[in-house]
C-alpha cells in the first residue's frame, strides 16, 4: 500500500518479499506441542534438556524460521526508516517555517532601519539644497544690478507704446467707481489701477528676464528641489512644504509706486506742467468727469512712466526680490518643520517595532535550533564526538572531530556549554550557518542540544559542520606561502563578505583565525557566525577581536557592512606580513586591550606599511580601514582589486 513493494513483485523476483505462510506457522506450533508432550513423558531431566536442545537447533537451522526472523528484522528496519523520514520531513517543514519567520523579521527590521535613515538623510539634503539655492539666488540678483538697469532702459524704449495702448483700452474693476464716491476719490482709485497695471507689466518683463537669463540655473535647481520634496513627502506624509515650493519662483514680489518715482517736489512740478498742457489741449476732458476717456487714461499713464526713476526701480526690484526670497525661505523652513516632526514620530514608532523584532528573533531562532536538533538526532544517529581529538578552541568552546558509526572522521563539531542567554546567541549562529550556502562559507549541517542536569540552567550545544584542515593563521605558520597565495586567501574572505553583505548581513568577527582551509589549501571558507547579525538587528554592542574592530564599532556608534571591510583590511595586513606571528607596530607597543581600542578609535592609529605591499595593494588596504565608513570600498570592489593584484603577481612570477 505504501509502495515499498510493487504490485508485480513475487517471492522469487523480489528479496523484499519475505513472509511465512499460515501452513508453516501451524506446522511449527504442532511440532512444538509434540516436543512438549515428549518432554512430559521423559523420565529424566537430561533427556528433557536434550529434546529442548534438539528443538532449538532444529528451529535455528529451519529455513522458514530464518525467513520469519528476516521478515521481522526487515519490517522493523522499514518501520524505523519510515519513522525517521516522517520525523525528518516534519522537522524540515518546521525549520522552513522558522526560516521564513526569521527572514521576514530580518527584512522588516532592515527596512525599518533603512527607511528611518533614508528619511533623515533626505530631510537634511532637501534643507541644505534649499538653503544653497536661496543664498545663490540672492547673490546673483545683487551682482546683476547693471543688467537690471539695462533691462529697464530697454523696457521703457520698447514697451512704452504697448503699455499706453493697453491703458487706453483698459476697464476698471467694479469696486473703483461706486455710488456716493467723490470725484476726487474716483480719480484716485482709477490712477491706482493704472499704476498697478504698469507695475504688473514691469514685473512680468523682469520675471521673464530673470527666468530666462540671470536666474536660469536657480530655476533648474529649484525644479529639482520640488521633485525631491514631492518624492520625500510622498514617502513620509503630505506636508505644507511642497505647497510652498509649488508656487512659481518670483511670482510673489511687488513694486511700490511711491518707491520707484522721483522725488515729490520734482514730480509735483512736472505734474503741474503736464496737466496744464493737457487742459489747454483737451479742456472738455479734464474739467469734466471723464476718467473713462482714453485720453485721460493715457495722460495718467504717461505721467507715471515719466516720473519713474530707473535707478530707484532697479533698487526696488532687487530689494523686493530679496524680501521675497527671504519670505519663501522662512515659509519653507516653517513648513519643513512639520515634516521633521512627522519623521521623528515615525522613527519612534518604527524603532519600537524594530526593538520588538529584535526581542522575538532569538526566540524563533531557538525554536529553529530545537527542530534542527530533532532532525540531527535521526539523520546522524550513532555519530559521536571524538573527545580525544580536539581540533581547536576559542572563546565559545572547543572543536572536535565527529566520527561516523564506522569510526571514520566525517565532520567537525563545535561544543559549547552556555546558559539560557548564551543559548539564544548560539541559536542565531546555528540558523545563519545552516541556511547560508556559498563556496566560501562553512555550513552547519546539524545541531545537538542537551540540557545539563547537573548544572541548573546550563546547556550543552554541538554544532556539526564541514571538516576543514586548519585556519589561515595556522596554515601560514606551518607553510611558507607565496604572496599571491596569501592574497588568494584574502580574496576568499572578500567573496564570502560580498555574499553576506548582499543579504544585508554583517559578520562582525572577520579575522584570519575564522578563515578555515582544507589540507591542500585549495578551499578556504569563512566560519564562526556567532556574532553575525542582520543589519536591521544590530545595535551598539562592542563585539569582535580588538585589533580588527572598526572605530565606529569601538565607539558604539551605528555601524553597517563597512565595519567588516575595516576588519578585512587588517586581515590583509596580516596576510601580507605572512608569518602570522607579528603585529602592527602600534599594537606591539601597547599592553592592554583598552589601549589598542583607544589607539584605533581615538588616535586613528593604523598598521605600518610593509615592504611586500605594492602601491596598489597598500592603497587598497588604506581605503579599507578609512576612518569614514562611507569612503571604504565594498566587498565586491575589494574582490575585483585583489583579483587584479593577484593576476599581476602571478604574471610577474
- What's the whole-number mean pLDDT along residues 174-178? 64
Residue 401: φ, ψ to 5°: -80, 145
**Which 8-state DSSP code applies to residue 211?**
I
Q: In what order do the strands lie in the sheet with 384-393?
A: 384-393, 398-403, 409-418, 459-465, 444-451
Count CB neighbours of 632 within 10 A. 23
Burial class (CB in 10 A: 0-12, 13-18, 19+), 652: exposed
The residue among 276 and 529 whose pLDDT is bigger is 529
What residues form DSSP beta bridges with 261? 308
- What's the whole-number mean pLDDT along residues 74-95? 86
Residue 97 in grid coordinates:
517555517
pLDDT reported for residue 620: 95
Q: What is the largest CA-CA distance in the chain?
A: 173
Q: What span, in angstroms and rounded, lies between the C-alpha atoms of 506 and 500?
A: 7
pLDDT classification of 544: cutoffs 50, 70, 90: very low
**Whether the predicted pLDDT of 173 surpasses 90:** no
**Whether the predicted pLDDT of 190 surpasses 60:** yes
Q: Which residues contact 346 (CB under 8 A, 6 or more apart)?
A: 116, 119, 236
Q: Which of 471, 480, 484 is nearest to 578 (CA)?
A: 480
- Lowest-confidence segment of 119-133, 364-378, 595-609, 616-630 by average pLDDT: 119-133
Residue 352 vs residues 102, 113, 359, 425, 536: alpha-carbon distances, Å: 18, 11, 11, 21, 13
Q: Which of 450, 497, 447, 440 is nearest to 472 (CA)?
A: 440
Q: What span, in angstroms and rounded, lies between the C-alpha atoms of 607 and 621?
A: 10
Q: Is the pTM of this model over 0.75?
A: no
User: Chain-wide mean pLDDT for the chain?
Assistant: 77
SS (H, E, C) 133-166: HHHHHHHHHHHCHHHHHHHHHHHHHHCHHHHHHH
The residue among 574 and 233 whose pLDDT is bigger is 574
Q: What span, in angstroms and rounded, lies between the C-alpha atoms of 577 and 274?
A: 97
Count CB neighbours of 107 within 10 A. 13
Q: What is the pLDDT of residues 27-49, one digit of tens each?
A: 667 777 776 777 677 656 666 66
pLDDT reported for residue 239: 45
The residue among 250 and 37 whose pLDDT is bigger is 37
Q: What percent of the residues of the chain are helix, what percent strand, and what percent coil, each to the nearest 5?
A: 65, 10, 25
Contact 519, 468 (CB under 8 A): no
Write down the residue that cell numbers 555550513 correspond to.
Answer: 443
- What's the whole-number mean pLDDT along residues 315-337? 78
**Whether the predicted pLDDT of 538 surpasses 50:** no
Residue 519 vs residues 109, 132, 438, 479: alpha-carbon distances, Å: 40, 61, 19, 11
Q: Which residues contact 130 (CB under 8 A, 6 or more apart)?
A: 225, 329, 332
**Whether the predicted pLDDT of 613 surpasses 50:** yes
pLDDT reported for residue 535: 44
pLDDT reported for residue 487: 94
Q: What is the pLDDT of residues 64-79, one digit of tens each?
A: 667 767 777 888 888 8
Q: What is the pLDDT of residues 134-160, one digit of tens each?
A: 787 778 777 878 887 888 888 888 888
Q: What is the pLDDT of residues 564-610, one digit of tens each?
A: 999 999 999 999 998 878 888 878 777 778 888 888 877 888 889 99
Amino acid at each position: 500500500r505504501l509502495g515499498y513493494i510493487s504490485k508485480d513483485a513475487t517471492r522469487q523476483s523480489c528479496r523484499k518479499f519475505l513472509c511465512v505462510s499460515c501452513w508453516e506457522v501451524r506446522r511449527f506450533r504442532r511440532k512444538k506441542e509434540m516436543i512438549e508432550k515428549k518432554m512430559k513423558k521423559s523420565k529424566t531431566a537430561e533427556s528433557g534438556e536434550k529434546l529442548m536442545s534438539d528443538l532449538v537447533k532444529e528451529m535455528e537451522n529451519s529455513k522458514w524460521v530464518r525467513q520469519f526472523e528476516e521478515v521481522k528484522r526487515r519490517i522493523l528496519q522499514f518501520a524505523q526508516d519510515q519513522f525517521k523520514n516522517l520525523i525528518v520531513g516534519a522537522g524540515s517543514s518546521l525549520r522552513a517555517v522558522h526560516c521564513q519567520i526569521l527572514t521576514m523579521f530580518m527584512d522588516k527590521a532592515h527596512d525599518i532601519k533603512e527607511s528611518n535613515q533614508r528619511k533623515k538623510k533626505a530631510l537634511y539634503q532637501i534643507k541644505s539644497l534649499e538653503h544653497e539655492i536661496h543664498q545663490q539666488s540672492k547673490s546673483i540678483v545683487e551682482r546683476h544690478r547693471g543688467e537690471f538697469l539695462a533691462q529697464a532702459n530697454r523696457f521703457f524704449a520698447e514697451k512704452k507704446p504697448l503699455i499706453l495702448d493697453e491703458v487706453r483700452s483698459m476697464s476698471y474693476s467694479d469696486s473703483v467707481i461706486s455710488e456716493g464716491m467723490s470725484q476726487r476719490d474716483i480719480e484716485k482709485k482709477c490712477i491706482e489701477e493704472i499704476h498697478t497695471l504698469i507695475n504688473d507689466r514691469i514685473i512680468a518683463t523682469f520675471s521673464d528676464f530673470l527666468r530666462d537669463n540671470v536666474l536660469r540655473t536657480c530655476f533648474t535647481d529649484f525644479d529639482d528641489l520640488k521633485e525631491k520634496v514631492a518624492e520625500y513627502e510622498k514617502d513620509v506624509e503630505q506636508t505644507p512644504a511642497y505647497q510652498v515650493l509649488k508656487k512659481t519662483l518670483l511670482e510673489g514680489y511687488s513694486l511700490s509706486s511711491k518707491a520707484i518715482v522721483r522725488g515729490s517736489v520734482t514730480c509735483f512740478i512736472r505734474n503741474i506742467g503736464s496737466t496744464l498742457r493737457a487742459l489747454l489741449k483737451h479742456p472738455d476732458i479734464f474739467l469734466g468727469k471723464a476718467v473713462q476717456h482714453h485720453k485721460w487714461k493715457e495722460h495718467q499713464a504717461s505721467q507715471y512712466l515719466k516720473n519713474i526713476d530707473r535707478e530707484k526701480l532697479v533698487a526696488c526690484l532687487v530689494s523686493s526680490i530679496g524680501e521675497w526670497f527671504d519670505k519663501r525661505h522662512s515659509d519653507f523652513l516653517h513648513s519643513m518643520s512639520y515634516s521633521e516632526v512627522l519623521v521623528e514620530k515615525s522613527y519612534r514608532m518604527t524603532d519600537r517595532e524594530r526593538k520588538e523584532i529584535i526581542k522575538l528573533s532569538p526566540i524563533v531562532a531557538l525554536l529553529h535550533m530545537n527542530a534542527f536538533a530533532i532532525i540531527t538526532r535521526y539523520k546522524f544517529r550513532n555519530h559521536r564526538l571524538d573527545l580525544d581529538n580536539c581540533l581547536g578552541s576559542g572563546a565559545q568552546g572547543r572543536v572536535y572531530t565527529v566520527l561516523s558509526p564506522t569510526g571514520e572522521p566525517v565532520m567537525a563539531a563545535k561544543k559549547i556549554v552556555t546558559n539560557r542567554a548564551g543559548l539564544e546567541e548560539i541559536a542565531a549562529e546555528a540558523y545563519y550557518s545552516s541556511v547560508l550556502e556559498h563556496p566560501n562559507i562553512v555550513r552547519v549541517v546539524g545541531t545537538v542540544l542537551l540540557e545539563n542536569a547537573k548544572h541548573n540552567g546550563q546547556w550543552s550545544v554541538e554544532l556539526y559542520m564541514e571538516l576543514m584542515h586548519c585556519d589561515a593563521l595556522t596554515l601560514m605558520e606551518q607553510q611558507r606561502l607565496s604572496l599571491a597565495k596569501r592574497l588568494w586567501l584574502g580574496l576568499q574572505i572578500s567573496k564570502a563578505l560580498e555574499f553576506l553583505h548582499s543579504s544585508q548581513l554583517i559578520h562582525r568577527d572577520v579575522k584570519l583565525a575564522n578563515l578555515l582551509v582544507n589540507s591542500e589549501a585549495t578551499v578556504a571558507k569563512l566560519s564562526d557566525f556567532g556574532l553575525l547579525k542582520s543589519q536591521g538587528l544590530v545595535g551598539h554592542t562592542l563585539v569582535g577581536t580588538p585589533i580588527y574592530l572598526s572605530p565606529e564599532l569601538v565607539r558604539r556608534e551605528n555601524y553597517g557592512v563597512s565595519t567588516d571591510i575595516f576588519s578585512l583590511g587588517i586581515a590583509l595586513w596580516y596576510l601580507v606580513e605572512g608569518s602570522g606571528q607579528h603585529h602592527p607596530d602600534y599594537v606591539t607597543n601597547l599592553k592592554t586591550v583598552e589601549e589598542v581600542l583607544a589607539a584605533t578609535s581615538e588616535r586613528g592609529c593604523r598598521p605600518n606599511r610593509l615592504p611586500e605591499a605594492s602601491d596598489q595593494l597598500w592603497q587598497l588596504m588604506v581605503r579599507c580601514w578609512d576612518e569614514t565608513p562611507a569612503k571604504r570600498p565594498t566587498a565586491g570592489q575589494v574582490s575585483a582589486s585583489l583579483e587584479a593584484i593577484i593576476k599581476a603577481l602571478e604574471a610577474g612570477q
